[in-house]
Amino acid sequence: MSEIGETIRTTCPRDCYDACGIVVVKRQGEIVRVKGDPEHPVSRGELCGKCAVAYNGAWIDRQTRLTQPLKRIGAKGEGRFMPTSWDEAIATICQQLQEILFTSDGRGILHTHYTGTCSLIAGFFPLRFFNRIGATEVDPDTVCNKAGHVALQMVFGDSLTGFDPRTAKDAACILVWGANPSSSAPHAHKHWLPEAPGKIIAIDPIKHPTAAAADLHLQPFPGSDGALAFALLHVIQREGLLNETFLDKHTTGWSEVRSLLPDCTPQWGEAVTGVPAALIEEAAILYGRGPSLLWLGQGLQRQPTGGNVFRACSLLAIATGNFGKPGTGLLYMNGFANRGIDADYLSAPHLNSGDFHSISHMDLTARLEDPANSRALFCWNNNIVASSPQQRQLRQVLSREDLFMVSLDLFATDTTDYADIVLPAASFLEFDDLVFSYFNYSISAQVKAAEPMGESLPNQEIFRRLAAAIEFTEPELFESDAAIIASLLKQTGTGIDFAQLAAKGTIDFTPEPIIQFADYKFATPSGKIEIASDQFAAVGLPRSPQPFADARPSNGKLRVLSPASPWLMNSVYGNDSRVLKLIGEANVTINPQEAKQRGLQDGSPVILSNETGHLPLKVKLSNQVPCGVALVYKGRWLKFDASSANVNVLNPGHKTDLAESSCVHSIEVEIVPAVGSQSEIGRF
């Protein structure tokens, strides 16, 4: 180690597949450097670019962090505040909550939260408080991945037990479908995939670096994956690669799919998806011979028929019997329950004495337009103004003077600007917690490396203080971090305590790779994998998966994909000065041919527009993006762009076919050259 000083080992708790090990270097009590842990199996001494920059930038910068509770003095959205004391802030919130709870139940108090931090206590403990007051939860997964979860739960009885990445050593093929590890799992892209002995197939409309490095890249038009899955299955059947024994023994409803296959030839597949028939053949045979791993990304299901897409894509693993053996399985996410954690212990749903109320993120704006049913709003671990749909309309309703809004964050975001009270949250470098990767089966320590900056406090402590002020007495609301960590580690059955875990940084849950569905038991009503069943009909879906593809945009419109940027983590880091330089001006990437047809050039100012909003951007040209598609990364901060908007200003917030989830990758827009000055454009 080049720096001399105290070092502390901890873990990155961002919403990222990698869960990197970190070393924090301190000198004279101050953090001087945050870097990758050389002994950590994932980070291997290197953080991703964005964290290397921002953990040594905005995250430890007193000028950028929120360090005091604030109360609003300007108009909502203006971002003018004055400092206040914790006592006064808590007393104000307490008084507002009591007023609401005195005259009604808690359902008029809404709260949004997500994965600002994914450590277990800071991510889940606050739910105990919201359960106690009977608040309405804006269902976090509906803005991200719920259609995929519910589809897999219905088919397999579980969406949170995936393959163990360590079993890649036994796989002849890894199919990465609608995920972009080069952005969203940078170390899996850099180490795990290249080191896997098997062939890599990527299926993605964008030729991102993972797709470019793959042995095969299939580039379907967005939203056509259901059809592509059926064309692949057609070849798998024709080549005798179906596992009939597995299908007979462990599944229901295969006959309903089989009857659809004859028409789904590779030539038909090419016409519907745009993927050449020869590539469909090659990929089907490679995957079908196996053993194969199937990684279903979260981008894949953000489509109008995202539920059907997931049912159809998972058929590949089912029809070839790629379960229960080394080198096989399917991964969406690995949840912490598969390492023994009891989610109900963390969030204490029993504290809610009434019914549990929840709404979709897609309905948040509409709910806030109804003052009688939305009197207060808490946002924590979540930046709704940057991330949620209907951005312009959402900002309008957040301006309601009668909406009491509280926002907890590390930074003064586009969302905190609307709050009446802003509470400063401590960062992961400033308190102990636990991190469970959602890719591999690891258990990691988040270790306090410094005191909370200024007067900031960990989320959990803020809600303990609120519970005390409101004179709640349930012990669950006051349990200490140390006690929770001890209970959670006990639940894992690993026998390790926090001090031992902190010394190691990360441990594997088991010494050997876990084999997914090794016992062939499925927690579905029939106990089998439900390819077709009445449960789907009951929620208005076809009984079996279908070879669907979305209609292509008409009238010269483009389909907008707005996936993860390599330099941002959702909206996190979008305020770091060096990251701002790295991401440059807001742009839209299109194919050079597309640009030529439209008379556009690299750097041309354009306006993207649809019925929901308008967004001025600069054109960037790249062959990574196919014709008909526009790539605009998610996560920019509105306040740093002249347009005062990001891509979600174009997002109508339509719902998927299942679970009221986001189909954000189905936005369609017109693209026209911008005329006039930047300030005129900014009026949109």
Q: Contact between 203 and ligand MGD (CB under 6 A)?
A: yes
Can you tell me which of 425, 514, 595, 681 binds ligand MGD, judged by CB under 6 A?
A: 425
Q: Contact between 12 and ligand SF4 (CB under 6 A)?
A: yes
Q: Contact between 14 and ligand SF4 (CB under 6 A)?
A: yes
With CB cut-offs between 5 and 8 Å by kind, which of Mo ion, ligand MGD, ligand SF4, none does residue 671 bind? none
DSSP state of 551: P
Q: Contact between 380 and ligand MGD (CB under 6 A)?
A: yes
With CB cut-offs between 5 and 8 Å by kind, which of ligand SF4, ligand MGD, Mo ion, none does residue 516 bind? none
Q: 320 with 287: CB under 8 angstroms? A: yes
Burial letters 228-264, b for 16+ CB under 10 A, else e: bbbbbbbbbbbeebbbeebbeebbbbbebbbeebeeb
| Binders of ligand SF4 in range 555-574 (CB under 6 A) | 569
With CB cut-offs between 5 and 8 Å by kind, which of ligand MGD, ligand SF4, Mo ion, none does residue 243 bind? none
In 242-336, which residue ranges form alpha helices assigned H by DSSP?
244-250, 254-258, 266-273, 277-289, 306-319
Q: Contact between 434 and ligand SF4 (CB under 6 A)?
A: no
Of 11-19, 69-77, 344-352, 388-396: span binding ligand SF4 (CB under 6 A): 11-19
DSSP symbols for 183-209: HHSHHIIIIIHHH-SSEEEEE-SS--H
Q: Contact between 118 and ligand SF4 (CB under 6 A)?
A: no
Can you tell me which of 8, 9, 10, 16 binds ligand SF4, judged by CB under 6 A?
A: 16
Closest residue to Mo ion, based on beta-carbon distance: 144
| Binders of ligand MGD in range 623-682 (CB under 6 A) | 634-635, 647-648, 651, 664-665
Q: Phi/psi at 68 (nearest 5 deg)?
A: -140, 150
Of 42-50, 238-246, 414-422, 505-513: span binding ligand SF4 (CB under 6 A): 42-50
Give the Cα separation of 363 and 365 in Å (integer): 6
Residue 126 tokens, joined = 């606050």
Q: What's the burial of 367, exposed, middle or buried (CB within 10 Å: 0-12/13-18/19+)?
A: middle
Nearer to ligand SF4, 192 or 517 (CB): 192
DSSP state of 652: -
Residue position matching structure tokens 């579905």: 524
Residue 10 tokens, joined = 């901890």
The sign one gets for the Cα dihedral 623, 624, 628, 631 is: negative
Of 16-24, 116-124, 272-280, 420-428: span binding ligand SF4 (CB under 6 A): 16-24
Beta bridge partners of 293: 174, 329
Q: Contact between 161 and ligand MGD (CB under 6 A)?
A: no
Q: Contact between 18 and ligand MGD (CB under 6 A)?
A: no
Query: CB 47 → ligand SF4: shortest distance, Å?
Result: 4
With CB cut-offs between 5 and 8 Å by kind, which of Mo ion, ligand MGD, ligand SF4, none does residue 12 bind? ligand SF4
Burial letters 346-359, b for 16+ CB under 10 A, else e: bbbeebbeeeebeb
Of 33-41, 143-151, 358-366, 465-473: span binding Mo ion (CB under 5 A): 143-151
Cα Rg of the chain (Å, integer) = 25
Of 56-64, 270-278, 534-542, 570-578: span binding ligand MGD (CB under 6 A): 570-578
Largest separation between any pair of C-alpha atoms in the chain: 71
Name the residues that contact ligand MGD, by CB under 6 A: 15-16, 114-117, 122, 143-145, 177-180, 183-184, 203-206, 208, 220, 222-223, 225, 297-300, 303, 380-383, 386-387, 408-411, 413, 425, 459, 561-566, 568-572, 634-635, 647-648, 651, 664-665
